[in-house]
Amino acid sequence: MNFVFFAMFLILLIPIYEAWQDEYIWQKMLAFASIATKTSIMILFISVLRDDWMIGVVGVIILSVGNAALMLLAHVIRRMNEL
Amino acid sequence: MINALSYSLFSIGIVFWLWGTLPLIGHRSVLYKLHSLSVADTLGSMSIVVGLLLRIPREWPLLILALISLAIWNTVLGYVLAYCSSHGGGDV
Amino acid sequence: MSDEFYVVAIAALLPLTALMLVLQVNPYNALVIRGILGAVAALVYALFGAADVALTEALVGTMLSITLYAVAVRSSMSMRLGVIAAEPHPDNERHDIPYPPEPLLSALRHMLDQHHMRLERVAYPSLPALRTALRNKDIHAICIGTETNESALLQVDHTEPYHIQTRLQRLYELMQKDIPSTMASLSYVQPNTLESAAIASADSQPSPVEGKL
């Protein structure tokens, strides 16, 4: 299980690197979308790993709410490009 | 038996994650990256969650909720991101 | 031991993303990185067993603060340029040409882009309304054509086709550096002299005829 978690951590590094090196904002948004999903899946994984129901609930809430934040931000950034 | 099945689901999920995330690096268009990200990443995440579900069936309502929100939100999010990034100069 | 190792590796992501956030120059990029930092922070908190802190970070630290900051950055990082609403000419269809002509407009946009700002044009019906709006600090600068008799009211002599007057010292310095002097003449007015000068003409409250062009 620990090995699987470590592999997830290594994959998480890829979008972080991408967000750091790319200056175009939509590429950063893609990296953010990827990171938001991956971290919440990792939180769910931790909850099963430790058999902790409370962390699992938090993981599911973050999974749905993180995406909502992303959509709000996407709309504001789209408005910025107007005019 | 169940353990082996969940491990194989985890590895399938991680392969899908890798497949969806690796195209992020490189100079392709946003829509190309978004396609691989939304398809492969969501499938990978769902297979990992199913693997977790096999391991601890006791928490099934929570994990089913995670599966549903993954499927719905990531689809909608892919659509919204594509719309916002391509309609940058448009009105509304 | 391996258990310790991945905890340390994930905790190390937090200062890494925080450093990325601090090094960002563009405010919008910084907002996106702030979202990444929030996601990583929630993961770290959940890893250490603090489910409530992780939830708060995701809801307040990421969603609410990013949305509020995005709105704040969007509305504050902009230059409001007052122009006189173009009257539609019945004999030709040139009336929908943007009022400051394209070379001047793109020079202004290019200048503002370097400082991650936006240009917002606000149209007013007449020159007194424009000046009242400038005095009331509704807009940051006004742009008028100098071949019309309107500019005689401003007592500036000019050979350039356009004149930009601003009440902000910093904006004036930026425009002096980046707007070619053949395109438009520039002037800076002190806000307090504006106030005294405009008392005589402050009879009517101006209202933008169109919000954003």
Q: Which of residues 4-63 of A touch B (CB under 8 A)?
A: 4, 7-8, 11, 14-15, 17-18, 24, 26-27, 29-31, 33-34, 37-38, 41, 44-45, 47-48, 51, 53, 56-57, 59-60, 63
- Indicate the DSSP class of residue C210: B
Provide the token pair at A30.
Answer: 């893609």
**pLDDT at site C200:** 44
Sheet hosting strand C162-166, strand order edge to edge: C118-124, C78-84, C141-145, C162-166, C184-188
Give residue C22's pLDDT band: very low, low, confident or very high (50, 70, 90): very high
Inter-chain contact B84–A74, Cβ cutoff 8 Å? yes
Query: Would you state the pLDDT for residue C159?
Result: 58
Mean of pLDDT values over A40-48 = 90
Q: Which tokens belong to C82?
A: 């007052």
Band of the pLDDT at C99, cuts 50, 70, 90? Answer: low
What integer pLDDT is reported at residue C36 of this predicted model?
92
Low-confidence winner among C68-82, C114-128, C188-202 (lowest mean pLDDT)? C188-202
**Residue A12: inside a domain, yes or no?**
no
Q: Over 70: is that where the pLDDT of C53 sits? A: yes
In whole angstroms, give the CA distance from residue B24 to residue B34: 9
Residue A43, domain member (yes or no): yes
Nearest-Cα distance to chain A for C63, in Å, is 5
Q: Tell me, yes or no, whether A3 lies in a domain.
A: no
Whether C57 has a pLDDT exceeding 70, the answer reads yes
Q: What's the total number of domains in chain A? A: 1
**Pairwise pLDDT comparison (B45 vs C118), residue with the higher score:** B45
Structural contact between residues C143 and C82, judged by C-beta atoms closer than 8 angstroms: yes
Q: Check whether C208 has a pLDDT greater than 60.
A: no
- Residue C15 above 90 pLDDT? yes
Query: Which residues in chain B land under pLDDT 50?
Result: 89-92
Residue B92 confidence (pLDDT) = 36
Q: CB contact, 8 Å: A70 with chain B?
A: yes
- Per-residue confidence at C88, pLDDT binned at 50, 70, 90? low
The domain in which residue A42 lies consists of 26-83
Q: Among B26, B23, B66, which Cα is nearest to B42's?
A: B66
**Burial class of residue C152 in the structure, from the number of CB atoms within 10 Å of its CB (0-12 exposed, 13-18 middle, 19+ buried):** exposed
| A14 within domain boundaries | no
**Backbone phi, psi, residue B88, to 5°:** -55, -40
Q: Does a structural domain hold residue A6?
A: no
pLDDT of residue C16: 92
Domain membership of residue A63 (yes or no) is yes
Residue A31 placed within a domain: yes
> Are the C-beta atoms of residues A57 and A46 closer than 8 Å to each other?
no
Q: Which residue has the tokens 């299980």?
A: A1
Please answer whether residues C64 and C49 qualify as being in contact, where contact means their C-beta atoms are separated by less than 8 angstroms. Answer: no
> Has residue A4 got a pLDDT over 80?
yes
Whether the ipTM is more than 0.95: the answer is no
- Asked if residue A49 is part of any domain, the answer here is yes
What's the mean per-residue pLDDT of chain A? 86
B89 touches chain A (CB under 8 A): yes
What gap in Å lies between CA C150 and CA C197, rounded to an integer? 16
Neighboring chain A residues of B74 at a CB cutoff of 8 Å: 37, 67
Lowest mean pLDDT among B47-51, C17-21, C86-90: C86-90
Mean pLDDT of the region C79-102: 62
CB contact under 8 A, C47 and A20: no
Note the pLDDT tens digit of each residue in C144-202.
776 555 545 555 555 567 778 888 888 888 887 777 777 777 778 776 665 555 444 44
What are the beta bridge partners of residue C141?
Answer: C81, C166
pLDDT at C153: 52
